[in-house]
C-alpha cells in the first residue's frame, strides 16, 4: 500500500547490512554531519537552539561543534570511539551529539534517571572513552577503576572530581575535515529500557537515522524553519530523532525544555511560535487538565504528533474542540526502528483514530503468527518490521541480535493487524495481553473505554493472576481532582461498552499518578506486580 503523499521522493531497493534488501530514498545525505552542514548552509542566521536564558543560530552552533570535535580529537578520541552523554535537555547535549558525528565518533545518550549498576553497565558495555555529564549527576558515577576505558570526563554546570570543565572543549581549535564515515556505520547507540535483564544497545546508523528524518519530513509535511519544543527526553529516540535531528533536517529550531510542565509548555509554545509538537498522550492530557489552551495564541501550531502510547479517543475529541486548526498525527515506532514505522496521514485521524496510521514509504510491516507465518488482513499477530530505518542490531550482543532479527525483520513484540487499506492497529504488547480463560483481552481496548469515563484522569489495565481462569482483568485508575467513582460504577460503565470477558474484574484507585518511565510510558511491570500482591492479599472471586 503506497504512502498517500504527492511528489514522494524517488526510491529504489538496495542491499544493506549484508543480507537485507530494503527500499531506500535515492537522494539522501551520506551522514548525519552532512545533514547538519546542509542546515548551516541553508539557514546560518536562523535559530538552531533556544533554551532558558539563551539562543544560538546555526552558524554559532556550527562553530561550537567544530571546537568540541577538534578538542576531543586533540585528546585522542577517534572515529568509532564512543562518547557518552549523561545530559538532560540542554544545549550541551545537542552540541555533544553533533560534535561526535562530526568527528565520526559514536554518541551514546544516557537517560539522566539512570544510576548505580545500570549506569555502570551501559558505560562499560559500550566502552565509552569520553563522557559529557551534568555536575549534579557526577556522584552517580562508579569509581574510575570500575570503568577503565573511560579516559575523559567533561562536566557541565559545575565541578566534579577527575573531570575537566565542558568549557575546555570550547577552546579555539582548527576545524576538522569531514569524517570519513560509511552510511552503515553506527552513529548513535541507544539503550533500550531493559524491562528484563540488562538493557540492549540499539545501533542507529547514519542510514537508519537519515531515512527516519526524511520520513518525518515527508509524512508530516515539515517545512524549512519549523519550531518545536523538546519536552520529552533528549536521550530517547523520540526526542533525539523526531525533534532534535528532524529540526536539523529542515533547518528548524529546537526549543529546549528541561522538565515538562503543562502551563510552562503552553506559554513557551506561544512565545516561541511553536509550529510542530510531539508529545506522549499523557502530556496532552495534562495540558488539557491543568492549563487552558484558549488563554494562549497557538495559531502557529500546525502539527500535533503523538506516540509512545495509545491516545484515548476522548483526548482526541477534546483537542479537536479546543484547537480546531491543529492537525493531530499519530506515529508508531521504537528505538529499534529509529522511529517511526507508521505515521497517520494528515486529516485521516477522524476516520482511523483507532489506528497508528500507515507504514512509512521505505518501511515494510508483516503481521505474523506464532509459527512465523503471515496472517490475513485484519487478523492479529506479531508485528515484524523491515526497512532502512531498522537498526542493524545490538551493540556487543550478537545473541540478542539473532533472537530479535529474522530475515532483515525486527520482531517488535507488539500484537497488531493491518487492514486492507494499509492502516496498522496495535492492540497490545505480547507480554501485556491478558488471557482470561482462553479469551484474549487487549488492554488498550479496555483503557480506551475507561478513558471516556468523566471521572477518570488516567488508567491502565493488566493481568491479575487467578487460580481458575489463569488471569483476570485488573484496572488501575486515577480520578480527576474533585471527582468520585466506585469500583462497581466503573465496571458498570465498561459493561455497557465492552464484551463481558473484557470488563475489568477488579478496579483499584490510585492516589498518585500511574508509574511511568522517563519516556512517559506506563510501567506495566510495576502494575502487574501490584496486581499480583492484591490477588495474594484478597480472596478470589
Q: What is the pLDDT of residues 372-431, one digit of tens each?
A: 999 999 999 999 999 999 999 999 999 999 999 999 999 999 999 999 999 999 988 877
User: So what's the pLDDT on residue 16?
Assistant: 97
User: So what's the pLDDT on residue 1?
Assistant: 60
Distance CA 412, CA 293 (A): 36
User: So what's the pLDDT on residue 485?
Assistant: 95
Query: At which residue does the C-alpha cell 488563554 appear?
Result: 295
What digits encode the pLDDT tens for the residues 14-32? Answer: 999 999 999 999 999 999 9
What digits encode the pLDDT tens for the residues 233-264? Answer: 999 999 999 999 999 999 999 999 999 999 99
Identify whether the C-beta of residue 238 lies closer than 8 Å to the C-beta of residue 278: yes
Same domain, 388 and 436: no
Residue 426 belongs to a domain? no
User: So what's the pLDDT on residue 431?
Assistant: 79
Distance CA 478, CA 30 (A): 48
Same domain, 376 and 490: no
Distance CA 495, CA 486 (A): 14
Average pLDDT of the segment spanning 201-205: 98
Q: Single out the residue of 148, 130, 36, 124 nearest to residue 87, CA to CA.
A: 130
Question: Strand 434-436 vs strand 439-441: parallel, antiparallel, or unpaired?
Answer: antiparallel
Q: Structurally, how many domains does the chain consist of?
A: 2
Residue 75 belongs to a domain? yes
Average pLDDT of the segment spanning 196-216: 93
Identify whether the C-beta of residue 445 lies closer than 8 Å to the C-beta of residue 460: no
Give the DSSP letter of residue 458. Answer: E
Q: Is-cis flag, bond preceding 340, omega within 30?
A: yes
Which residues, including other chains, have CB under 8 Å from residue 466's CB and lie 6 or more apart? 472, 505, 535, 540
pLDDT band at 206 (very low <50, low <70, confident <90, very high): very high
Same domain, 126 and 260: yes
Residue 427 belongs to a domain? no
User: So what's the pLDDT on residue 64?
Assistant: 98
Distance CA 147, CA 396 (A): 17
Domain final residue, candidates 393, 418, 443: 418
For residue 412, the surrounding DSSP H or E stretch is: strand 409-418
Residue 21 belongs to a domain? no
Give the DSSP letter of residue 511. Answer: S
The CATH number given to whatever domain includes residue 39 is 3.40.50.12780
Same domain, 274 and 353: yes
Same domain, 454 and 311: no
Same domain, 137 and 264: yes
| Cα diameter, the chain | 73
Which residues, including other chains, have CB under 8 Å from residue 374's CB and lie 6 or more apart? 366, 367, 368, 381
Lowest-confidence pick of 39-43, 87-91, 394-398, 466-470: 466-470
User: So what's the pLDDT on residue 197?
Assistant: 66
Domain final residue, candidates 360, 389, 418: 418
Question: What phi, psi does 132 have (nearest 5°)?
Answer: -105, 125
User: So what's the pLDDT on residue 4?
Assistant: 75
Find the domain containing 527 and state its range: 432-537
Same domain, 223 and 271: yes
pLDDT band at 2 (very low <50, low <70, confident <90, very high): low
What digits encode the pLDDT tens for the residues 497-512? Answer: 988 889 999 999 999 8
Residue 36 belongs to a domain? yes
Residue 406 belongs to a domain? yes
pLDDT band at 194 (very low <50, low <70, confident <90, very high): low
- Angle, vertex CA 473, rays to CA 471 and CA 477, nearest 5: 145
Bridge partner residues of 11 (DSSP): 25
User: So what's the pLDDT on residue 534?
Assistant: 93
Mean pLDDT of the chain: 92
Positive or negative torsion for Cα 266, 268, 269, 271 = positive
Average pLDDT of the segment spanning 184-203: 85
Residue 20 belongs to a domain? no
User: So what's the pLDDT on residue 193?
Assistant: 67
More confident: 58 or 439: 58
What digits encode the pLDDT tens for the residues 338-384? Answer: 989 999 998 898 888 889 999 999 999 999 999 999 999 999 999 99
Same domain, 449 and 305: no
Q: Single out the residue of 332, 312, 432 nearest to residue 383, CA to CA.
A: 332
Distance CA 126, CA 140 (A): 18
Same domain, 192 and 333: yes
Residue 9 belongs to a domain? no
Question: What phi, psi does 352 have (nearest 5°)?
Answer: -135, 35
The CATH number given to whatever domain includes residue 436 is 3.30.300.30
Residue 460: left if φ>0, alpha if ψ -120 to 50, beta else—which one? beta
Identify whether the C-beta of residue 518 lies closer than 8 Å to the C-beta of residue 111: yes
Q: Single out the residue of 356, 334, 333 nearest to residue 345, CA to CA.
A: 356
Average pLDDT of the segment spanning 431-449: 85
pLDDT band at 272 (very low <50, low <70, confident <90, very high): very high
Give the DSSP letter of residue 522. Answer: B
Predicted confidence (pLDDT) at residue 37 exceeds the cutoff of 60: yes
Same domain, 40 and 101: yes
Same domain, 335 and 482: no
Same domain, 407 and 498: no
Question: Strand 186-191 vs strand 434-436: parallel, antiparallel, or unpaired?
Answer: unpaired
More confident: 317 or 3: 317
Lowest-confidence pick of 70-79, 97-106, 153-162: 153-162
Predicted confidence (pLDDT) at residue 145 exceeds the cutoff of 70: yes
Average pLDDT of the segment spanning 449-462: 92
Domain final residue, candidates 361, 385, 418: 418
What digits encode the pLDDT tens for the residues 371-387? Answer: 999 999 999 999 999 99
Return the axis-axis angle of helices 443-450 and 487-495, rounded to nearest 10°: 110
Predicted confidence (pLDDT) at residue 442 exceeds the cutoff of 60: yes
User: So what's the pLDDT on residue 57?
Assistant: 98
Amino acid at each position: 500500500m503506497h504512502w498517500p503523499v504527492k511528489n514522494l521522493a524517488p526510491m529504489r531497493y538496495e542491499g544493506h547490512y549484508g543480507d537485507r534488501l530494503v527500499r531506500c530514498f535515492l537522494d539522501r545525505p551520506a551522514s548525519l554531519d552532512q545533514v547538519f552542514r546542509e542546515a548551516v548552509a541553508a539557514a546560518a542566521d536562523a535559530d538552531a537552539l533556544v533554551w532558558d536564558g539563551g539562543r544560538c543560530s546555526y552558524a554559532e552552533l556550527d562553530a561550537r561543534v567544530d571546537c568540541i570535535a577538534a578538542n576531543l580529537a586533540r585528546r585522542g578520541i577517534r572515529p568509532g570511539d564512543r562518547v557518552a552523554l549523561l545530559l538532560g535537555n540542554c544545549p550541551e547535549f545537542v552540541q555533544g551529539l553533533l560534535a561526535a558525528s562530526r568527528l565520526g565518533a559514536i554518541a551514546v545518550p544516557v537517560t539522566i534517571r539512570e544510576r548505580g549498576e545500570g549506569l555502570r553497565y551501559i558505560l562499560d558495555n559500550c566502552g565509552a572513552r569520553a563522557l559529557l555529564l551534568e555536575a549534579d549527576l557526577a556522584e552517580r558515577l562508579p569509581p574510575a577503576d570500575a570503568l577503565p576505558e573511560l579516559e575523559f570526563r567533561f562536566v557541565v554546570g559545575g565541578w566534579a572530581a577527575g573531570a575537566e570543565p565542558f568549557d575546555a572543549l570550547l577552546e579555539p581549535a582548527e576545524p576538522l575535515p569531514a569524517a570519513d564515515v560509511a552510511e552503515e556505520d553506527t552513529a548513535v547507540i541507544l539503550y533500550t529500557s531493559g524491562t528484563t535483564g540488562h538493557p540492549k544497545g540499539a545501533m542507529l546508523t547514519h542510514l537508519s537515522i537519515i531515512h527516519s528524518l526524511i520520513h518525518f519530513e515527508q509524512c508530516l509535511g515539515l517545512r524549512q524553519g519549523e519550531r518545536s519544543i523538546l519536552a520529552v527526553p533528549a536521550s530517547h529516540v523520540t526526542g533525539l530523532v523526531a525533534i532534535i535531528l528532524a529540526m536539523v533536517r529542515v533547518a528548524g529550531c529546537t526549543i529546549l525544555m528541561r522538565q515538562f510542565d503543562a502551563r510552562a509548555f503552553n506559554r513557551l509554545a506561544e512565545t516561541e511560535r511553536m509550529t510542530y509538537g510531539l508529545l506522549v498522550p499523557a502530556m496532552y492530557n495534562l495540558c488539557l487538565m491543568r492549563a487552558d489552551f484558549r488563554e494562549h495564541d497557538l495559531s502557529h501550531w500546525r502539527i500535533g504528533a503523538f506516540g509512545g502510547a495509545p491516545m484515548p479517543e476522548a483526548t482526541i475529541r477534546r483537542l479537536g474542540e479546543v484547537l480546531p486548526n491543529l492537525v493531530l498525527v499519530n506515529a508508531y515506532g521504537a528505538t529499534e526502528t529509529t522511529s517511526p514505522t507508521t505515521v497517520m496521514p494528515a486529516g485521516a485521524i477522524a476516520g482511523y483514530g483507532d489506528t497508528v496510521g500507515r507504514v512509512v514509504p521505505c518501511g515494510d510491516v508483516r503481521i505474523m503468527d506464532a509459527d512465523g507465518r503471515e496472517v490475513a488482513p485484519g487478523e492479529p499477530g506479531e508485528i515484524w518490521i523491515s526497512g532502512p530505518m531498522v537498526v542493524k542490531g545490538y551493540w556487543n550482543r550478537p545473541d540478542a541480535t539473532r533472537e530479535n532479527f529474522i530475515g532483515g525483520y525486527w520482531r517488535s513484540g507488539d500484537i497488531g493487524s493491518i487492514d486492507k487499506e494499509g492502516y496498522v492497529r496495535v492492540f497490545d504488547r505480547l507480554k501485556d495481553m491478558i488471557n482470561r480463560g482462553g479469551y484474549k483481552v487487549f488492554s488498550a481496548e479496555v483503557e480506551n473505554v475507561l478513558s471516556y469515563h468523566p471521572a477518570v484522569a488516567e488508567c491502565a489495565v493488566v493481568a491479575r493472576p487467578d487460580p481458575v481462569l489463569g488471569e483476570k482483568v485488573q484496572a488501575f485508575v486515577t480520578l480527576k481532582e474533585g471527582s468520585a467513582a466506585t469500583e462497581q460504577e466503573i465496571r458498570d460503565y465498561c459493561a455497557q461498552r465492552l464484551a463481558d470477558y473484557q470488563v475489568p474484574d477488579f478496579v483499584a484507585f490510585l492516589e498518585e499518578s500511574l508509574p511511568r518511565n522517563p519516556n512517559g510510558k506506563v510501567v506495566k511491570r510495576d502494575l502487574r506486580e501490584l496486581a499480583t500482591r492484591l490477588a495474594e492479599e484478597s480472596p478470589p472471586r
